[in-house]
């Protein structure tokens, strides 16, 4: 941080010096000392190499060349456009005619694009890039000689296109190509196009007469895309329309930062020579000045050549030489706030959440689900007008090949990305990586970014989505079987035998699993304690340890009081069971850690370097474990409200109890419930770990397991000891009872 402030300090004074820092010598007797210090004034370039581009911008009169410069100069703008294109989705083939769909699929996957790419996805990406950048884009499907097939697809450079309008209001599109149309087909090139353009300095004109070399485009084999058209304007509106000023601000800041960094390695010096009385005239002063300058230049040259050197100057008794580094006083230029504001304006212009552009300062944490919905809706609206154009290209190909079809045989669609699935898969990757770290398996993958809140009840985890792996469907046989067992297990939740009361006695549980149990229990109890505070606050009741100032008047509760208490309990359930990107609840966090830990430990017992399973491949089983955990937290909290909290409120009101008494009663009820949270944490962690172990062993082909009762196990668990086929071995907790600490091992 000190280094950064130092760099910015240097930059502060350097910029001041460039804008006309005048270094003057004090006048003495006579005129000999005047005019001996030179100041250099240079042309300012606040945006660096892009200064000339930004200098010419005017609102609503922006050249297409500048839009491309803006995208090139500001990485977050270029990234935002690419993200918008990604959100539109992937080109896919749908339909009912398998044979025809196979032919269309082959075309969609392999059609040449722009002479060096393949696939309609590349065509769609390129034309949408032009559309978002310039407001419109033009594509062309080029026919082979004889018109028997589509030879390839081409995307125009929108900067080379313009419209004219005749007296009848008919628009004609023209191109300003640098490569004129070919007069004959070239069989070696396969592609021909009249719209292949490069950078055109002629500019962009909304109307006017065509130039000498301009070409009127026939639209029979063209597909035109535009967005946000205003009234009769055929050009559409660039997605970057609000951003020139913002871009100028960002380019200015980035250029200033670059100047600071560059000049830190090559600082400017100020050598000040204060002449003594022995200097009688300007000639002597210039001679002394030149000598100091030559010596200083020799020193700097030696330093840059890798040699050491010292600056030694002998002057008169009353003379002085002072050497300073300009900017060494550590003044700071604060750029964080304006850059954050600029980033937020880019996100607003694109309609993207900050986390979609890898910006993690978002003020909308906890709203990821809503943001995903809005972005997908925007993408669906944008892509809808373009689907007929993509279908028209394929239809032209099929007609050229002589194919016929009926409605429903095939169609081209653009399938939106499954952002909800990506969030869940990213969460799974995080939990897998964390289990590996807990078991000594190394560090988490670099694509995972974790940020846990300081409060024990705050389980916010930010995760950068990664590419998905195949997952098992929720209706797979293993998931269905587990679902039925979990339902039965929840029915007997409060009927455990209570034979394993001490967490220290869980000899067959690994230290990592015991830590997960303890952490899970702590978060549940902390959240429940926070709920008690909310209940007491919403009812106007005192905290039991601080009730001296509360009157002893009897309490009366209204229906709205009961509703607010119920809302507080529901809020606790939501916090514990949340599965949102920015607010992952305790159930997901600790069940996932325990389940992934089971994979790791099972592989270790087999002597393997790592597990074959992860939460992604075992997604269906993990989902069922989460559903069970969600239900238990909700049922436990709801039962506490309905049978204990509400009854205590009513009973206290009927007895005429004062606020202190009711507050103490509620506090006791909440504390008593902690035994249930302990049981839930211990049981769910043990169950998730055991299921993970068994599934991992099955992946390695293990056939037999051993049921190992815990020390001091109840008679029912002790009777289960022995070897079993892997699919018939009892699972602790699921096939025994809650709080069970027995384990399965290799036979």
List pLDDT tens digits, range 519-544. 999 999 999 999 999 999 888 888 76
Q: What was the pLDDT predicted at 390?
A: 93
Structure tokens belonging to residue 433 = 């990586």
Which of 198-202, 258-262, 717-721 has the highest average model confidence (pLDDT)? 717-721
Lowest-confidence region among 129-143, 345-359, 452-466, 545-559: 452-466
Estimate the crossing angle of helix 120-134 against helix 387-400, to 10 degrees.
Answer: 140
Tokens at residue 559, please? 């229906």
**Per-residue pLDDT at 234 exceeds 70:** yes
- Report the distance separating Cα 466 and Cα 468, nearest Å: 6
Is the confidence at residue 456, as pLDDT, over 50? no
DSSP 155-167: E--GGGEEEEE-T
Does residue 204 or residue 292 have the better pLDDT? 292
27 pLDDT more than 60: no
pLDDT at 578 over 90: no
What pLDDT shows up at residue 197? 32
Q: pLDDT tier at 236 (50, 70, 90 boundaries)?
A: confident
- The mean per-residue pLDDT over the stretch 166-191 comes to 54
Query: What is the band of 336 on the pLDDT scale with cuts at 50, 70, 90?
Result: low
pLDDT confidence band for 452 (50 / 70 / 90): very low
Report the pLDDT value the prediction gives residue 688, as an integer from 0 to 100.
Answer: 94
For residue 459, is pLDDT > 70?
A: no
**Does residue 555 have a pLDDT over 90?**
no
Q: Is the pLDDT higher at 2 or at 712?
A: 712
User: What whole-number distance in Å separates Cα of residue 396 and Cα of residue 118?
Assistant: 18
d(CA 97, CA 410): 7
- Inter-CA distances, 358 with 96, 239, 353, 372, Å: 40, 20, 9, 15
- Cβ-contact 147, 155 below 8 angstroms: no
The average confidence (pLDDT) of the chain is 75
134-152: average pLDDT: 89
The terminus-to-terminus CA distance of the chain in angstroms comes to 57
Average pLDDT of the segment spanning 241-266: 71
d(Cα 633, Cα 641) in Å, to the nearest integer?
12
How are beta strands 112-113 and 743-746 bridged, if at all?
unpaired
The answer, yes or no, to whether residue 103 has pLDDT greater than 90, is yes
Residue with tokens 């002394």: 288
pLDDT band per the 50, 70, 90 thresholds, residue 34 = very low
Q: What is the mean pLDDT of residues 445-451?
A: 33
pLDDT for residue 705: 94
Residue 509 has pLDDT above 80, yes or no: no
In this prediction, residue 36 has a pLDDT band, given cuts at 50, 70 and 90, of: very low
Question: What Cα–Cα distance (Å) separates residue 423 from each residue in 88, 579, 582, 583, 586?
Answer: 18, 9, 10, 11, 16
Tell me: pLDDT of 337 over 50. yes
pTM of the model: 0.49
Q: Which residues of 672-709 are buried (b: 16+ CB within 10 A; e: fewer)?
A: ebeebbbbbbbbbbbbbbbbbbbbbbbbeebeebebbb
Q: Does pLDDT of 457 surpass 80?
A: no
pLDDT at residue 175 in the model? 79
* Least confident span in 27-41, 44-58, 424-438: 27-41
Binned at pLDDT 50, 70 and 90, residue 291 comes out as confident
Q: Has residue 736 got a pLDDT over 50?
A: yes
What does the pLDDT read at residue 117?
A: 92
pLDDT of residue 511: 82
Which has the higher per-residue pLDDT, 355 or 710? 710
pLDDT at 658 over 80: yes
Q: Is the pLDDT of residue 157 over 90?
A: no
Q: pLDDT: is 140 or 34 the higher one?
A: 140
Higher pLDDT, 448 or 611: 611
Calpha distance 650→210 (Å, rounded): 86
Q: Greater confidence, 594 or 7?
A: 594
* Tens-place pLDDT, residues 602-644: 999 999 988 988 888 888 898 899 999 999 999 999 989 988 9
pLDDT at residue number 177: 57
If you average pLDDT over residues 210-232, what whole number do you get? 79
Q: Has residue 51 got a pLDDT over 70?
A: no
Which one is predicted more confidently, 280 or 597?
A: 597
Whether the pLDDT of residue 183 is over 60: the answer is no
Under the banding of pLDDT at 50, 70 and 90, the label for residue 419 is low
- Whether the pLDDT of residue 409 is over 60: the answer is yes
CA distance linking residue 90 with residue 110, whole number of Å: 15
d(CA 541, CA 347): 45
Question: Does residue 30 have a pLDDT over 80?
Answer: no
Which pLDDT band holds residue 125 (cuts at 50, 70, 90)?
very high
Q: Are strands 722-725 and 704-708 parallel, antiparallel or unpaired?
A: antiparallel
pLDDT at 233: 76
Confidence grade of residue 79 (pLDDT, cut at 50, 70, 90):
confident
């Amino acid at each position: 941080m000190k280094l950064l402030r130092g760099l910015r300090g240097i930059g502060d004074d350097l910029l001041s010096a460039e804008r006309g820092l005048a270094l003057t010598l004090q006048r003495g007797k006579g005129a000999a000392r005047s005019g001996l210090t030179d100041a250099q004034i240079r042309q300012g370039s606040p945006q660096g190499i892009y200064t000339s581009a930004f200098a010419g911008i005017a609102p609503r009169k922006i050249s297409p060349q500048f839009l491309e410069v803006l995208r090139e100069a500001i990485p977050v703008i270029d990234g935002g456009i690419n993200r918008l294109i990604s959100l539109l989705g992937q080109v896919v083939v749908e339909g009912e005619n398998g044979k025809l769909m196979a032919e269309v699929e082959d075309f969609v996957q392999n059609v040449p694009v722009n002479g060096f790419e393949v696939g309609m996805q590349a065509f769609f990406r390129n034309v949408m890039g032009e559309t978002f950048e310039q407001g419109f884009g033009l594509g062309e499907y080029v026919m082979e000689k004889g018109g028997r097939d589509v030879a390839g697809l081409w995307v125009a450079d929108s900067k080379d296109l313009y419209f004219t309008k005749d007296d009848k209001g008919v628009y004609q599109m023209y191109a300003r190509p640098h490569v004129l149309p070919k007069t004959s087909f070239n069989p070696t090139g396969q592609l021909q196009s009249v719209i292949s353009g490069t950078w055109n300095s002629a500019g962009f004109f909304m109307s006017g007469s065509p130039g000498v070399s301009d070409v009127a485009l026939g639209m029979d084999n063209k597909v035109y895309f535009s967005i946000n058209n205003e009234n009769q304007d055929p050009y559409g509106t660039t997605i970057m329309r609000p951003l020139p000023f913002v871009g100028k601000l960002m380019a200015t800041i980035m250029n200033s930062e670059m100047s600071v960094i560059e000049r830190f390695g090559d600082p400017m010096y100020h050598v000040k020579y204060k002449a003594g009385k022995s200097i009688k005239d300007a000639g002597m002063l210039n001679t002394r000045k030149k000598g100091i300058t030559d010596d200083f230049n020799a020193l700097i040259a030696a330093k840059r050549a890798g040699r050491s050197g010292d600056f030694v100057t002998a002057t008169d008794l009353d003379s002085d030489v002072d050497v300073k580094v300009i900017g060494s006083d550590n003044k700071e230029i604060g750029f964080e706030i304006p850059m954050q504001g600029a980033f937020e304006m880019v996100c607003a212009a694109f309609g993207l959440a900050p986390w979609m552009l890898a910006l993690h300062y978002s003020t909308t944490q906890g709203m990821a689900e809503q943001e995903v919905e809005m972005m997908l809706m925007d993408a669906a609206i944008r892509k809808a007008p373009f689907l007929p154009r993509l279908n028209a290209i394929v239809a032209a190909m099929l007609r050229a090949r002589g194919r016929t079809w009926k409605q429903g045989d095939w169609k081209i669609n653009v399938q939106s990305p499954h952002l909800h699935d990506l969030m869940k898969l990213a969460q799974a990757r995080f939990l897998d990586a964390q289990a590996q770290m807990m078991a000594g398996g190394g560090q988490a993958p670099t694509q995972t970014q974790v940020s846990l809140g300081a409060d024990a009840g705050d389980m916010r985890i930010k995760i950068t989505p990664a590419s998905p792996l195949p997952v098992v469907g929720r209706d797979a046989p293993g998931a269905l079987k587990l679902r039925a067992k979990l339902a039965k297990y929840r029915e007997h939740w409060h009927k455990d035998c209570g034979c394993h009361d001490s967490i220290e006695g869980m000899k067959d549980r690994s230290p990592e699993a015991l830590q997960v149990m303890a952490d899970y229990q702590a978060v549940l109890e902390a959240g429940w304690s926070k709920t008690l505070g909310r209940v007491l606050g919403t009812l106007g009741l005192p905290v039991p340890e601080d009730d001296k100032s509360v009157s002893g008047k009897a309490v009366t509760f209204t229906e709205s009081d009961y509703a607010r208490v119920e809302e507080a309990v529901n809020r606790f359930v939501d916090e514990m069971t949340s599965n949102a990107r920015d607010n992952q609840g305790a159930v997901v966090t600790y069940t996932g850690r325990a389940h992934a830990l089971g994979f790791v430990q099972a592989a270790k017992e087999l002597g393997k370097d790592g597990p074959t399973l992860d939460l992604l491949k075992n997604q269906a089983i993990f989902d069922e474990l989460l559903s069970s955990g969600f239900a238990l937290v909700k049922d436990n909290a709801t039962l506490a409200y309905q049978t204990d909290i509400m009854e205590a409120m009513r009973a206290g009101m009927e007895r005429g109890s004062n606020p202190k008494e009711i507050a103490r009663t509620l506090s006791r009820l909440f504390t008593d419930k902690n035994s249930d949270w302990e049981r839930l944490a211990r049981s769910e962690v043990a169950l998730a770990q055991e299921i993970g172990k068994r599934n991992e062993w099955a992946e390695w082909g293990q056939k037999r397991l051993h049921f190992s009762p815990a020390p001091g196990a109840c008679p029912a668990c002790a009777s289960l000891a022995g070897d079993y086929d892997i699919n018939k071995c009892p699972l602790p907790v699921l096939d025994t009872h809650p709080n069970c600490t027995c384990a399965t091992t290799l036979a």
